[in-house]
Structure 1
Amino acid sequence: MAQALALGRRGMGQTWPNPAVGCILVAGGRVVGRGWTQPGGRPHAEVVALKAAGPLARGATAYVTLEPCAHHGATPPCCDALIAAGVARVVAPLTDSDPRVSGQGFDRMRAAGIEVITGIMASEAMHDHAGFFLKVEQSRPWLTLKLAMTMDGRIATATGESQWITGPQARRAVHGLRATHDAVLVGGGTARADNPRLTVRGFDVARQPVRIVASRHLDLPLLSDLARTAKDVPVWLSHGPDAQSDLVKTWEQLGATMLPTRLAGGRLDAQDLLATLGQRGLTRVFCEGGGQLAASLLAQDLVDELHVFTAGMALGAEGHPGIGALGVDRLAEAPRFELVDVRTQGGDLQHVWRKAAAT
């Protein structure tokens, strides 16, 4: 099962709106087929593994990281494919919470005489599929927040200079994180200040993440890299109801997809934005700031995992803070996370935090 989970992770960031599933077929003590969900969400992992195994699948054990689907979509149900192949046993950690499946895949295989075993490495699988479950159950994707800061929590100097606070190894790690998410999200201030491309570079990916900018007034540079490449790599723009209609039309002509978002407290409502992203099929979103957007997400308890890259420099109180005002008066009101990993990235430190409910 550990190997199947590792295979499934190869599809992270590539398979939305479907989950990134891994499957390994074992017969006679050896692996006879393996597969993971392919870019765009199909073919599914089970189909890839069964094709690799061919007739050797008969009598084999299938280790699948999520309950095989039981509904007809763009492809026939995977549970039926496993039955037709003559698989003798299926080991899967979790039931699929999608109401079109939700135990039906297991029931159909049991009715066909296949032994079904569940619960193996369930916590690991739950974390891997958390974004898919959030999309199905709460209509929002998993949200990873990344902050690259100085040791005193600053992301730019007083004049706005921010490139580069962290070193090349940390920046490569960020590209690796982008590659495992369906979309990269930044605020309008970051888009204006940095002219980011928000693409994955240095890693071979079949599908670049969707690039999302949250900008209430759409006051974004029309000659930016995002504008120039909007027809090549998807750009989605979250804007308020008061954005100028001519700017909306201009961005649409450039190739961007517009996401009207309601306001809360005079700012874009982060919860409404994430609900829209979930409705559009995204399961994993990687937010790279800036400070105001990070504060909005934290204040609404929408951050599931936090990656903080800390550089060995200090900018002082006049520097721009990594997180905007949260309005916290008491420690009990502050967002809290549990530390799950610490590692060095060249001369920088990466620490990973996860909120308790998602651990």
Structure 2
Amino acid sequence: MPRDDGNAIKFLGGVLISMRKSIGVDIGGTKMNFAILNEDGSLENKFRISTPAFSPRDEFMNILKANIRDMLGRYDVCGIGVGVPGLQDVERGVAIYAGNCPALKGTPVVEILQEEFKIPVYIDNDVRVATLGEFWYGAGKDANTIICVTLGTGIGSGIIIRGKLWRGSNCAAGEIGHVKLKEDWLSSTLDMDGTLEAISSGPAIATAYHKMVEGEKLEGRVDTSLKASEVAERAHDGDKTALEIFQTAGYYLGIAIAGYVNLINPELVIIGGGLASVGDLLLKPAFEAYQRYALDVSKQVCRITMAQLGNDAGVVGAGAMVFHYLDGDKFWL
């Protein structure tokens, strides 16, 4: 394939303009998404691979570099944006900790990639970059104060306040998945039992179902080879245990969102992530709990909607982050 020289041409008001390109990478607990992003939000060369989450660090980074190198062989880009799970030191470009991706613990992602490719590299939390994607190009582009909750291998959230990303005092804001909601339940990868992530994430739903079917106590760490999508199929077939698990997961998800809305008072809540695709099995009980526990004054101004960009939100936000950094746009508080 011929190399793209990065000078994508587009008409704007009858004038030919050149569009920059960036690489967006979204690292999740089970999948890594890659794409070339154009400034208008369109994607090229989009692909996905399995995340080597439990591999040694060097092996993980070599896989990441190999896929980026392949893209750089065909496109000229102005930088690389990477969404990284868990906690990061954004200023130093270091992945501090990710329970669902231990291979990255303590990894200086920016330093390694910049040394390898000699172009600007920026990282942020994977859910925050998905939030930016939805804010700049998706469901949140007409809103000003937003909460974006992603449901998948883990549960996280991003916050936009008055048009700016809120990272928190040390880049740890939005960790809704680790809010304690229930006693005597499964524990998450951080060994905290009864948290939202230990109740309502994909692996939590699958683990709870497996244990209930086997007559085991709902205790111990979330861990099963069963997938939430399989449990969803059984629920659609009328499996009472599967239906009960989704009802519980949705109920506590709704409580968590209601508490979030009561605290932040947003105008929009965006729900995304792979697990959201199960639809009403999870979201109907969540919305019912939200309606019950969110304050009326907050509900009056808050709309709940599904993410528009789907699985592309992370790569779009990560890639767009590059343009904003290079343009000197301080898009965070």
Common fold by TM > 0.5:
no
Structure with the higher helix share, 1 or 2:
2
Normalising by structure 1, we get a TM-score of 0.32
Per chain length, whose mean CA-contact separation is higher, i.e. which structure has more relative contact order (CA < 8 Å, sep 6+)? 2
